[in-house]
Structure 1
Amino acid sequence: MTDLHETATNNTVAMSIAAPSYEIRAERGSDVAARESLLDVCFGASRHARTCQRLRDGRLPAEGLAFSAVVQGRLVGTIRLWHVDAGGRAALMLGPLAVDPGARDLGLGAALMNHAIAEASARGHGAIVLLGDAPYYARFGFTADRMATLALPGPFERDRLLGLELKPGALDRARGIVLASGKRVRRGAAEFQPLADVA
């Protein structure tokens, strides 16, 4: 569990913030309904029509790379990564990242990003791509470098296509359309197939 606290800089004692602590953990099957409600709140009903959603439709998130942020037993944040072919190079697509509006002052967006990037790196993945605001994602190392030769399978804003190499050269010679390459949801399974519950 991650506890929020503030350390005084003048050699006085550390002061606790009157904010709830949060936990970032692997997504569970029991998170599905709350995650979908959170995504509706954050992105609206049109989220299912977005270009990046086409890369997720009918696919499972990359193994071990779907996370939930929980405060006092309530899901308040989500992040998932998905396998893609980024113009001939294996990569992950990050998204969506969502944090409950009432919990945004806890730093959960940054905590989820850092957790997901660290776990993707630990699992040996070479690169992550995403569609998002460059000023926000730059602090995690995402840039538009090497993205000029890549495109998404639908409308997108060129300056929002960003990448992060976890291994040097992972996006070398990446050219073309970013395509979904992850495991498919089993035929007849629910669209939002829950992950196994973890005790």
Structure 2
Amino acid sequence: MEAARQIDPAWNAVAVEDRGAAPLFTVDVEAAGDIAARELLLDRAMGPMRRRKSSEKIRRGRLPAEGLALVARAEDGTLVGTVRLWHVTLGEGGARALLLGPLAVEPAMKSAGIGSRLMRDAIARAATLGHGAILLVGDPEYYVRFGFTAEKTAGLAMPGPFEKRRLLALELKPGALEGAAGVIAGSGDFVPHARVQAKRRTAAA
């Protein structure tokens, strides 16, 4: 049955209730107190190998884009879903875009529509904030429903092993990825402790 959905004017929370089998859950902006629960959820949903992904090299030590780190909570407040978007640069001196991921849902609740709701809300928020494009690495069979394809990513590469067919993009502004080429690199702010470590690595190079 179709889900009932209410969005508050400030976009701070989205309540979704499937009147069939799925429980009530809310989607809102990630808070500082969610970090530990989010990491545990990622471990359960994706396993320890998640830290070896090429996307993780881009995200490591950086802050997600402002207003674009979202979580889903069950009725009792338990964190049951997460998605973040990150600032990236497409090649040296290239265009700016967002990298989406990881998207994860509590394994026992994968059929509740949480992942789809997180995706749609993340895309809508990114568009409203004026971003031009979103990239991700994932299964095209799943992400095509949200408008992602590999049509605009032929000239792009990740900073590590990846499958070309799984590097996907969605233009939020027509032409935002025109001519995009090169290695995708993180460009967002570093978290405070990572900023110090990055300066030390640069000085030692």
Q: What is the alpha-carbon distance in structure 2 between the residues aligned to residue 70 and residue 178 of structure 1?
A: 32
Q: What is the alpha-carbon distance in structure 2 between the residues aligned to residue 169 and residue 147 of structure 1?
A: 13
1:26 aligns to 2:29 (yes or no): yes
For 2:15, the equivalent position in structure 1 comes to 2
Q: Which runs of 5+ in 1 are unaligned?
A: 6-15, 192-199
User: Identity percentage over the alignment?
Assistant: 52
Q: Is the 8 A contact 2:61 2:194 kept in 1?
A: no
- The equivalent position to 2:95 in structure 1, one of 64, 72, 89, is 89
What is the DSSP-based 3-state SS (H/G/I as helix, E as strand, rest coil) of the residue aligned with 2:97? Answer: strand
Between Structure 1 and Structure 2, how many residues are aligned? 180
Q: CA deviation at 1:187?
A: 2.9
Q: CA deviation at 1:186?
A: 1.1
Q: Is the 8 A contact 2:134 2:169 kept in 1?
A: yes
Q: TM-score, normalised by structure 2?
A: 0.84
Q: Which amino acid aligns with 2:170?
A: L
For 1:132, the equivalent position in structure 2 comes to 138
For 1:43, the equivalent position in structure 2 comes to 46
Q: CA deviation at 1:152?
A: 0.4
**Superposition RMSD in Å:** 1.5
Q: What is the alpha-carbon distance in structure 2 between the residues aligned to residue 18 and residue 151 of structure 1?
A: 41
For 2:162, the equivalent position in structure 1 comes to 156
What is the DSSP-based 3-state SS (H/G/I as helix, E as strand, rest coil) of the residue aligned with 2:16? Answer: coil
Q: What is the alpha-carbon distance in structure 2 between the residues aligned to residue 128 and residue 170 of structure 1?
A: 10
Q: Deviations over 1:167-195 (max 9, x none)?
A: 00000111110011001111368x9xxxx
- Aligned in 2, Cα 1:83/1:188: closer, same or farther, shift over 3 Å? closer
- Aligned in 2, Cα 1:41/1:119: closer, same or farther, shift over 3 Å? same
Q: CA deviation at 1:91?
A: 0.2
What is the DSSP-based 3-state SS (H/G/I as helix, E as strand, rest coil) of the residue aligned with 2:89? Answer: strand
What is the DSSP-based 3-state SS (H/G/I as helix, E as strand, rest coil) of the residue aligned with 2:111? Answer: helix
Q: Which amino acid aligns with 2:115?
A: G
Q: TM-score, normalised by structure 1?
A: 0.87
